Amino acid sequence: MIEQIRALKGEFSFETYFSLSCQNCPDVVQALNLMAVLNPNIRHVAIDGALFQAEVDERQIMAVPSVYLNGVNFGQGRMGLEEILAKLDTSGIEKAAEKISAKDAFDVLVVGGGPAGSSAAIYAARKGIRTGVAAERFGGQVLDTMSIENFISVQETEGPKLASALEAHVRQYDVDIMNLQRASRLIPAKNAGDLHEIRFESGASLKSKTLILATGARWREMGVPGEQQYKAKGVCFCPHCDGPLFKGKRVAVIGGGNSGVEAAIDLAGIVSHVTLLEFDSKLRADAVLQRKLYSLPNVDVITSALTSEVKGDGQKVTGLAYKDRDSGEFKTIDLEGIFVQIGLLPNTDWLKGTVELTPRGEIIVDARGETSLPGVFAAGDVTTVPYKQIVIAVGEGAKASLSAFDHLIRTSAPA
């Protein structure tokens, strides 16, 4: 990677807008700093958006990290060094795909690098069998979690810190880790003893005797007019990352569960006013969070509210329309930001037509973590296992891995 950075030709002037409370920003800032150190043609300026509000407003930056290259938007959101390099040097993607496709078949191939995938890889590697992990980004949804206070034996930590610890633990074992690999298709084994195949968007493909699917989940979207148009232009999903950009402004939080109420509490200390909208007739958050929320003077709570449209001026969000489910009346709120906190969707679009899924898209698993396909297991937030928690995902990953090993010793001799 160092040689690839040094070999980049041309002039690269990067600017990164960040916030100090953003857990996604450090990876981007430090990756670009490293590149600037290694290559004299690369320059990087990191800008605290909360301190340069006029500049942020002028460039209409409403999400961090926002990266500009030579004055043109380069990307938004978490990007590691590998991902930045892949965007700058497209030939590197093809070379990496060819290298991956040439690998021998695995005994266990884990698809996904979150808590479930990490746990599955460790348990498989400890059995002494050929283990691989292919992940779009190591750490998964944990990277977008700020404070973690319910991971047993760890009193308090942060998502990126836990993700780093998970990866370090996996790397202690003989595990082949392949990053920036987004799965696009599962080709099941046709007969007993045949290999399963996973194809990736990069063009790479891998084969394995058993699979553990741990692709996790992503933020659920509202699915209303204007949402896609104003993403990162006022429609946000991470209050910790983007909250400081809305200092002194009016925002809404969609969702009355724990994540929504926590977001509203955090934002109330930054913005001028928060309106929380909940579809149900009452909030679903823990009582202690609700008490805190209702004690805040700059927060309004609206229940039985169905968000119907995100309004904007073509450049940024200007308001939100919702339907009062009790009266049937449509109402509008003037604001500058909308934080969507309505749960998660499983990352299973690529699995439709192969393994059995629920109507919500979750992979159906039995008590052993096995799917409808023999030799294919699943674990974590992507499955039907209730209660999407990190500690549960870790346990389910271990279970799926032990089940995969049991399947191997009953059907074939592991390499």
Which of 107, 144, 242, 266 is catalytic? The answer is 242
pLDDT digits (tens, 9 = 90+) for 280-303: 999 999 999 999 999 999 999 999
Q: Work out the pLDDT band at 413, boundaries 50, 70, 90.
A: low
Residue pLDDT, tens place only, 70-110: 999 999 888 889 889 989 987 778 888 999 999 999 999 99
For residue 65, whether the previous peptide bond is cis, meaning omega lies within 30 degrees of 0, is yes
The string of DSSP letters for 163-208 reads HHHHHHHHHTSSEEEE-S--EEEEE--SSTTPPEEEEETTS-EEEE
Residues 163-180, mean pLDDT to the nearest whole number = 95
313 catalytic residue (yes or no): no
> Distance between CA atoms of 138 and 80, rounded to whole angstroms?
10
Catalytic residue among 22, 25, 236, 241: 241
pLDDT in tens, 115-148: 999 999 999 999 999 999 999 989 988 987 777 8
Q: Please, are residues 212 and 400 in contact by the beta-carbon 8 Å criterion?
A: yes
Global pTM reads 0.83
According to the model, what pLDDT value does residue 271 have? 96
Q: Which tokens sit at 385?
A: 């296992």
Catalytic residue among 22, 25, 236, 238: 238
Q: How confident is the model at residue 209 (pLDDT cuts 50, 70, 90)?
A: very high
Catalytic (active site) residue 25 = no
Kindly state the average pLDDT of the residues 35-45: 98
Residue 238 appears among annotated catalytic residues: yes
The residue-averaged pLDDT of 163-168 equals 94
- State the average pLDDT over residues 330-335: 97
For the stretch 348-383, pLDDT in tens is 999 999 999 999 999 999 999 999 999 999 999 999
Alpha-carbon span 347 to 67, nearest angstrom: 26
Mean pLDDT of the chain: 94
Confidence of residue 23 (pLDDT cuts 50, 70, 90): confident
End-to-end CA distance of the chain: 31
CA atoms of 210 and 243, how far apart (whole Å): 43
Q: Which domains does the chain have, with CATH numbers?
A: 2-88 (3.40.30.10), 94-218+345-411 (3.50.50.60), 235-340 (3.50.50.60)
